[in-house]
Structure 1
Amino acid sequence: MSDIEPWLTELLRLNDEEEKMTDKQIKIVQAAVEIFSEKGFAGSSTSEIAQKAGVAEGTIFRHYKTKKELLLSIVAPMMTKLIAPFAVKDFTKILEADYPNVEQFLRAITVNRLEFARKHFPVIKIFMHEIPFHTELREQFKETVAVLVLEKAYKAIRHFQEKGQIIEMPAPSSMRLIASTIIGLLITRFLLAPDSEWDEAKEIDYTINFIMYGLSPRA
């Protein structure tokens, strides 16, 4: 396994606030994240997690009753204690800042999300894989992130609509189109082509220009 990554350092800090993890738990969690991220929850087994962690399979079940409990022990604290506070605190600052134009607003969002994904992508990837299949994760996302962020995003969109910088469209529809484009950038950067030659500044420019003007030539 690789050395301890930033996401694992954060996860250990979050768990230690309640109960200090043992060295074996640390190895289990690191192995589980790597395997869940690579193969998905359904395609992974506790035996291969144990093998990668260098522990007996029974050791996993002494700490976690089921494979799903192991999954939730990884994703839940990251969502409730790290991702949600980040969304509420740091991302709120981005959404509520006073930007002179919509281009600077979109650039701030895109750069912010790129940095966040760069730091936490292994766990984000698991969450993306598993949220369609686990009601607990969907509800947790709605309660801890979506509700807290969306209204602020809608307010920012309506602000730029009033200034004539975004076309009139329901704010949820505008947000969906903006978010899907930025998420597409993140997926390509960190999931589909992580080893490709990449000019991040240019790709950010392309993303922002696409959101603002589509594929039509500018007049």
Structure 2
Amino acid sequence: MKNNRTRMNREERQVQITQVAIKLFVENGYKGTTTAQIAEAAGISEVTLFRNFESKREIFLHGVMPILTHTLEDKLKVDKDKSPEEVLESFLVDRLAVISENHGVVRLVLMENQMNHELGDIDFIKKVGGQIQKGLQEMGFKEGMQDFTMRLIMGSILSFLYLPETDEDTVREFAAELARTIATIDKNR
């Protein structure tokens, strides 16, 4: 066991545990990772781990939710100084970068969401899709276009999961073209 027993406040300790746990989850899967392994890799006892988190599930959610959903709401807020197309483009650039940077975590979530009954009550895809749909409504996209647009966006986001792109210019160009295409279709309906 490593000697990482440095005095940390609760928030710092939770970040430490979560970072270690996410790496282990990506390597071994959710079921293949134990709390004992997490504690050992973090250099703490299981007692300390359970002082900070009630369960392995809580650790998992604490690590993945910020990547998947928490920042979505901020990115989808309507900016009065920007057109819906510009807001959508900004959102796409952000999400595509997040997916490319965190593709291992996102793949893990998608696999675990389908196979793991312990996490089955949380449908990450529906949760993300619902937030995107709400953002599209707030941006003013036509009602009949929202489902179509959401599917285009989700499909594009998932394509970056399997074909990660680290070149920012390529991501921006793709996002701009997709936002322009969606805005044009929306105007013509």
Q: CA deviation at 1:150?
A: 0.7
Cα contact 2:133–2:146 (8 A) shared by 1? no
1:38 and 2:27 are equivalent in the alignment? yes
Structure 2 residue matching 1:55: 3-state secondary structure: coil
1:158 aligned residue: 142
The whole-number CA distance in structure 2 between the counterparts of 1:39 and 1:53 is 16
1:6 aligned residue: none
Q: CA deviation at 1:151?
A: 3.3
The whole-number CA distance in structure 2 between the counterparts of 1:35 and 1:67 is 12
Q: CA deviation at 1:153?
A: 1.3
The partner residue of 2:95 within 102, 110, 113 is: 113
The partner residue of 1:93 within 66, 78, 90 is: 78
1:131 aligned residue: 113
The partner residue of 1:202 within 165, 170, 187 is: 170
**For residue 114 of structure 1, what is the amino acid of its counterpart?**
L
Structure 2 residue matching 1:137: 3-state secondary structure: coil
> TM-score scaled to structure 2, two decimals?
0.60
- Count of residue correspondences: 170
1:183 aligned residue: 158
Give the 5 Å matches for 1:38-57: 38-57=27-46
Deviations along 1:80-106, one digit per CA (max 9) or x if unpaired, are: xx943x32233223699315xx5x565
Q: Which runs of 5+ in 2 are unaligned?
A: 1-7, 183-189
Structure 1 residue matching 2:32: 3-state secondary structure: coil
Q: Cα 1:124–1:202, aligned 2, differ >3 Å: closer, same or farther?
A: closer
> TM-score scaled to structure 1, two decimals?
0.54
Q: CA deviation at 1:22?
A: 6.3
User: Aligned Cα RMSD in Å?
Assistant: 4.3
Identity between Structure 1 and Structure 2 (%) = 22
Structure 2 residue matching 1:189: 3-state secondary structure: coil
Q: CA deviation at 1:172?
A: 0.6
Cα contact 1:96–1:156 (8 A) shared by 2? no
Structure 2 residue matching 1:173: 3-state secondary structure: helix
Q: CA deviation at 1:141?
A: 6.3
Q: CA deviation at 1:35?
A: 0.9
With a CA cutoff of 8 Å and minimum separation of 6, indicate the structure with the bigger relative contact order: 2
The whole-number CA distance in structure 2 between the counterparts of 1:170 and 1:54 is 51
Q: Which runs of 5+ in 1 are unaligned?
A: 1-11, 160-168, 191-197, 214-219
